Chain A
């Protein structure tokens, strides 16, 4: 299975439920396209729910970083929700855990957007 994305709106926050594998190819490009589309529509508050991400490689991590910089440079906010142990470990090893604003509660995450 590659990646499946489901976007929903809670107030003015776009929540993207990501499931599957974010790897080089179809997986990472799907995430990239989804974030770019939201940014092009002027959406400034994006929450990536990674609770169902079974696997991510360095390309997938790169897409998370790219999404973060794209949204941030456009004056928006991108946050992460429900990291699996694997994703959390990788973000910690690569010192990206402190770059992102990471939450394990959707309610808390939504409230944290300014």
Chain B
């Protein structure tokens, strides 16, 4: 199949990219396999989400160490959503999704809470905070994942995005 290139477009126009996409073979596209669930704000949901993420990570080809890290990061993020975001409110759900491409394994967790300023979290490694009983969850998520992003949702809620790279699996 060929397309006539309109002479009015310059070389760096959108047309060459549109052409490339139209001619792209189906198996060259990065189509993520996505699983999405709406979970109750319970500790059982935390267990279920972790289990789902671990299974997906194993299916994506991660080694045992990375599977453990992904599972733990998901657990910590789910606890934040259930306990701190939705406060165990049975009327509020946690949106949980896992998507995997050849390069990236992405988990998104969104609560319906009032929001949280992640920049104000105390440093759990600071000497004065070492013997605190809490405050290590986000630190562990950042330690275990390659990317960690936070987004405020409208009208309410917070979404965290966790990404682990699939490097030549």
Contact = CB atoms under 8 A, between A and B. Distances in A.
Interface residues of A, number: 20
A86 B43 CA distance: 22
Contacts, number: 47
B125 to A, nearest CB: 5
A58 B136 contact: yes
Given A94-B125, A94-B136, A59 B79 contact: yes
A57 interface: yes
Interface in B109-132: 124-125, 130-132
B114 to A, nearest CB: 21
Secondary structure of the A side of the interface? Answer: helix
Given A63-B133, A65-B133, A93 B75 contact: no
Nearest to A93: B143
A66 B133 contact: yes
A86 B134 contact: no
B39 interface: no
B123 to A, nearest CB: 10
Interface of A: 23-25, 57-59, 61-63, 65-66, 68-69, 86, 90, 93-96, 99
